[in-house]
Chains A and B, each alone.
Chain A
Amino acid sequence: MKLNRRSLLKLSAAGAALSLTGLPAFAAIDELVIAYNVNLPSWDPTVGPSAVNPTIQGIYQSVFDQYILQQPDLSPAPGLLTEWGWNDDRTQVWMTVREGVKWHDGSDFTAEDVAWSLARVANPDTGSPIQFVWGTLKNHRVEGNKVIADVAQFDPTIFKWMYFLTGYVLPKAYYEKVGAEGFEAAPVGTGPYMVEKFERNAYVRLKANEAYWGGAPEFKTVTIKFVTDSAARVAEVESGNAHVTLEMPYEEYDRLKNGPLAGVATPVSDIGMIFLNDIDVMLDPNVRKAAALAIDKQTIIDRLLSGYGVAIDTLQTPEYEAYDASIKVGYDPEKAKELLAASGYSPENPVKFKIQTTKGFKPKDYEMVQAIVGLWRKVGIEAEIEVYEIAKHYELRAADQLAPAAFYNWGNSVGDPTTSTGFAMFGPSPHSVWDGADLIEKIAPLWGEADEAKRIAGWKEVDRYIAENALVIPLLQYVQPILHAPGVKVVPHASGALLPHLMTRG
């Protein structure tokens, strides 16, 4: 074919015809399209690996309700349970169940559903990854619109788990009727949206639950497209193919937020930290303290993350219950040099160890570790970087075989110190890294502490002890960037969950 004006016009016409096949535009948003950063492997939010994947909880919370509602600032609020608590001697828990709620299939939501859901995840045979928490309750029973359960082992955080991972209520009658496979094919919840269409690895199309007990969502149809590549996600929203997206490089966020798009970037319950293992040179407190004091966190945040991050000195962020602003680990390279000198190290005779990190798993993770290694070098620490996959991190951590230092991120969307400092630092936990007996002694009594004020104060003391002895190096709290079309108002959730029912036309 000769390439002339006529053939070019024909090609243009073909292109235009193709372009009319459904590309959405920003003008009138009838159907909200979200470019989401991860795939949804499974619809059961209570069992299997998906249930404990923090990045997909926003999708689950669109379709299912948790026992207790969690508000955008992480605080609990009445949800399917309107009231809850322990009896006086803490041998039983009681929960009052909301009345008048319907499942997506039109059937009534009842206290039976709550009791069954709790008993199901407490059963080891179901494959619940959080069975160790739900198993602390037993003999679940219904009394009117109340659910009662006996406490097998007192856990002060049990109600917090009811708005955390796997804390979802599923429909007893429907699940028993269709089974696990049927539920995967056609999930039913009580949440603000109903599943209309689901293509694995592609998209889920949601339809508003007009009878939602919390009020019908503003957008009647929402399509969540699974776009795992960040460049493609940005292109989706930049081209008008999607109205909202999240988790893109901060440079891209800055470029687009004041242009054709709007943006919101707020701190979320996810932190970057360096685990220190109680092996080799890390047994020397001077080395640990020097490593902590030599890191200029704020400069790293400013230079590498465009200022999007909050420097932290404990494993608690300002939103968490045990956050104590008075605990500080400053940037003091001279003090770091002094400490190292006391142990016989200097820039000319550096202490040597390995630091492991992921590369690309979290924003600028590898670059941050490179910067830290550079800062360490100046005070007399020579660290060799080893890049590993996140899967290897989990395996090494479970086997307590991490290097003396290992970069990692830690989410804690309920904000309780048990699920941050507790699980990260308690030696007997297979996932902790520092196993010192002194720390174990300090933490152990707090697991079952019934006095809430005393419990939180106890965790603050533990955090102070950890900071003073540099048993871990907290770095920063991450900020989640969200880009959206000007016609959409997005309410960010501190848990990091992107929730379409909180979005309105704006």
Chain B
Amino acid sequence: MFWQKLIARIGTTAVTLIGVAVIVFVVIRVVPGNPVAMMLPPGATEADVARLTALYGLDKSIPAQFLIWVQGVLQGDFGTSITTRQPVLDLVLGRLPATLELSIMALVMAVIIGGIAALTGTRLRGTKAEGAIDVANGMALSVPDFLWGLALILLFGVLVPVFHISGRVTPSLDLPFTTGFYLFESLFRLRFDLWADIVSHMLMPALALAIPLAAIIGQLLKQSLKETMHLDYVTLSRTKGYGENHVITREALPNAILPTLTLVGVQFTFLIGGTVIVERLFSYEGLGNMAIDAVINRDLPLIQGIVILFAVIFTAVNLVVDLLYTVLNPRLRHG
């Protein structure tokens, strides 16, 4: 049963990706903005326009261009970036680790902050402290991530300059890394000096991404805990003499966490989407930053590559969350 569901889900994921590829390919070619028009200086002639249009394969019909692109993709060739003149696959895979590390760090921060807020709010329910946590949650939720980023830059970049404002690592450092996962590889190599430098660069963008998500997690988990705390089995554990902390963390939390887990999965995909603006703000060398440049320059092959990769990540995360939910929820696990 489980495997049937898994295969069916992978099938629908593949169809989704094909749909995304078609839509993206067509949309970016019909929206205004022609890469050749952007690169030609004013003195160029019609012949120059025609020459460069043909050079970049844009003189063919959209279906013909799509077929050529698909043929390339099936052979692992996503085309060549117009602006960087590098293979698209190399570019996006080269930037993917930076974005994944940032997203994972933001997710971990959001879970920790949101979890602590929910547990503390539940423990202190009915007190002024709960009200303060609710107000803080509301504030965190009402400000978008890029504005948090600006506030953090002002606070920890200018007023109390303890963290780096831009980039992923200090340029003067020699990096011994063989993968793009600098944060993890520095730990693996026991290079704590590099790790501290990388964290110092990542903290602000990760926190900017984490704050709104932490508020969502905090609110939902607290609400779930509140409902669970009124269930009979929780009352029973209280009558058995367990303390409130034990009741919340050991009895109520395991059941209350399931809706939050689903939400975290869904929100994680939004968080990755949020990296586009936040990476730009912090000049973080990830996929999002590259995506904005690609759009500005109408670098069609690069836009396609990035969107497809984002789509793969989104569908993969949703797939993993669904499977995890199935595994953790006994009612689903047993069919």
Assembled-state Cα–Cα distance A16/B34 (Å): 49
Using a CB-CB cutoff of 8 Å, which residues 196-253 of chain B contact chain A?
196-197, 199-200, 203
Asked whether B193 lies within 8 Å of A21 as measured between CB atoms, the reply is: yes
At the interface, yes or no: B255 with Cβ under 8 Å from chain A? no
Assembled-state Cα–Cα distance A229/B165 (Å): 11
Q: Identify which of A21, A236, A391 contacts B197 (C-beta below 8 A).
A: A21
Asked whether A235 lies within 8 Å of B158 as measured between CB atoms, the reply is: yes
At the interface, yes or no: B123 with Cβ under 8 Å from chain A? no
- The stretch that binds A, out of B167-175, B257-265, B313-321, is B167-175
What is the chain B residue whose CB lies nearest that of A431? Answer: B42
At the interface, yes or no: B162 with Cβ under 8 Å from chain A? yes
| Number of residue pairs A-B, CB distance < 8 angstroms | 199
Assembled-state Cα–Cα distance A422/B41 (Å): 12
Asked whether B83 lies within 8 Å of A49 as measured between CB atoms, the reply is: yes
At the interface, yes or no: B5 with Cβ under 8 Å from chain A? no
Asked whether B165 lies within 8 Å of A223 as measured between CB atoms, the reply is: no
Asked whether B285 lies within 8 Å of A202 as measured between CB atoms, the reply is: yes
Asked whether B166 lies within 8 Å of A236 as measured between CB atoms, the reply is: yes
Asked whether B171 lies within 8 Å of A203 as measured between CB atoms, the reply is: yes
The residues of B that contact A39 with a CB separation of less than 8 Å are 289, 293
Assembled-state Cα–Cα distance A223/B297 (Å): 25
Assembled-state Cα–Cα distance A419/B281 (Å): 35
Asked whether A131 lies within 8 Å of B51 as measured between CB atoms, the reply is: yes
Q: Residue-by-residue, is B173-207 near A (CB-CB < 8 Å gives 1, otherwise 0)?
A: 10000000000000000000100110110010000
At the interface, yes or no: A244 with Cβ under 8 Å from chain B? no
Q: Residue-by-residue, is A46-70 near B (CB-CB < 8 Å gives 1, otherwise 0)?
A: 0111101000000000000000000
Assembled-state Cα–Cα distance A391/B31 (Å): 10
The residues of A that contact B16 with a CB separation of less than 8 Å are none
Asked whether B34 lies within 8 Å of A48 as measured between CB atoms, the reply is: no
Asked whether A49 lies within 8 Å of B164 as measured between CB atoms, the reply is: no
Asked whether B42 lies within 8 Å of A432 as measured between CB atoms, the reply is: yes
Asked whether B167 lies within 8 Å of A389 as measured between CB atoms, the reply is: no
Asked whether A131 lies within 8 Å of B298 as measured between CB atoms, the reply is: no
Assembled-state Cα–Cα distance A17/B163 (Å): 10
- The stretch that binds B, out of A193-201, A289-297, A497-505, is A193-201
Assembled-state Cα–Cα distance A388/B48 (Å): 25
The residues of A that contact B34 with a CB separation of less than 8 Å are 391, 394-395, 398
Q: A21-B196, A225-B167, A241-B164 are in contact. Are A201 and B32 (CB under 8 A)?
A: no
- The stretch that binds A, out of B133-141, B149-157, B266-274, B322-330, is B149-157
Asked whether B83 lies within 8 Å of A50 as measured between CB atoms, the reply is: yes
At the interface, yes or no: A231 with Cβ under 8 Å from chain B? yes
The residues of B that contact A388 with a CB separation of less than 8 Å are 32
The residues of B that contact A240 with a CB separation of less than 8 Å are 161
The residues of A that contact B52 with a CB separation of less than 8 Å are 127, 129
The residues of B that contact A18 with a CB separation of less than 8 Å are 162-163, 196, 199-200, 203
Q: B58 to nearest A CB, angstroms? A: 12
The residues of B that contact A22 with a CB separation of less than 8 Å are 164, 170, 172-173, 197, 200
Considering only CB atoms and an 8 Å cut-off, how many residues of chain B contact the other chain? 64
Q: A235-B154, A431-B42 are in contact. Are A31 and B172 (CB under 8 A)?
A: yes
Assembled-state Cα–Cα distance A198/B95 (Å): 14
Q: A489 to nearest B CB, angstroms? A: 23
> Which 10 residue pairs spanning A and B have beta carbons closest together?
A391-B33, A423-B42, A49-B39, A392-B32, A431-B42, A22-B170, A202-B285, A41-B83, A394-B37, A19-B162
What is the chain B residue whose CB lies nearest that of A233? Answer: B166
The residues of B that contact A49 with a CB separation of less than 8 Å are 35, 38-39, 82-83, 297
Assembled-state Cα–Cα distance A130/B51 (Å): 12
A residues bordering B, Cβ < 8 Å? 15-19, 21-23, 31, 35, 39, 41-42, 44, 47-50, 52, 124, 127, 129-133, 165, 180-181, 184, 197, 199-203, 205, 221, 223, 225-229, 231-232, 235-236, 238-241, 388-389, 391-392, 394-398, 418-419, 422-424, 429-432
Q: Identify which of A21, A47, A132, A238 contacts B48 (C-beta below 8 A).
A: A132
Asked whether A130 lies within 8 Å of B41 as measured between CB atoms, the reply is: yes
Assembled-state Cα–Cα distance A419/B42 (Å): 8
Assembled-state Cα–Cα distance A22/B161 (Å): 12
The secondary structure that dominates the A interface is mixed
Assembled-state Cα–Cα distance A392/B150 (Å): 29
B residues bordering A, Cβ < 8 Å? 32-35, 37-49, 51-52, 55, 81-86, 91, 95, 150, 153-154, 157-158, 161-168, 170-173, 193, 196-197, 199-200, 203, 280-283, 285-286, 289-290, 292-293, 296-298
Q: A42-B85, A48-B82, A199-B285 are in contact. Are A235 and B153 (CB under 8 A)?
A: yes
Q: A129-B44, A202-B283 are in contact. Are A16 and B162 (CB under 8 A)?
A: yes
Asked whether B168 lies within 8 Å of A202 as measured between CB atoms, the reply is: yes
| Known A22-B200, A48-B85, A391-B38; further 15 A-B contacts with Cβ < 8 A | A18-B162, A19-B161, A52-B41, A184-B84, A201-B285, A201-B293, A221-B172, A225-B167, A232-B283, A235-B154, A391-B32, A398-B37, A429-B43, A430-B49, A432-B42
The residues of B that contact A203 with a CB separation of less than 8 Å are 167, 171
CB pairs A–B below 8 angstroms (10 shown): A49-B83, A130-B41, A132-B48, A201-B289, A201-B293, A205-B172, A235-B154, A241-B165, A391-B34, A394-B38
Assembled-state Cα–Cα distance A229/B39 (Å): 23
Q: B284 to nearest A CB, angstroms? A: 8
What is the chain A residue whose CB lies nearest that of B46? Answer: A430
The residues of B that contact A16 with a CB separation of less than 8 Å are 162
Q: Identify which of B37, B289, B290 contacts A395 (C-beta below 8 A).
A: B37
Q: Identify which of B38, B40, B162 contacts A15 (C-beta below 8 A).
A: B162
The residues of A that contact B86 with a CB separation of less than 8 Å are 181, 184
The residues of B that contact A47 with a CB separation of less than 8 Å are 85
What is the chain B residue whose CB lies nearest that of A399? Answer: B37
Asked whether A21 lies within 8 Å of B33 as measured between CB atoms, the reply is: no
The residues of B that contact A227 with a CB separation of less than 8 Å are 165-166, 283
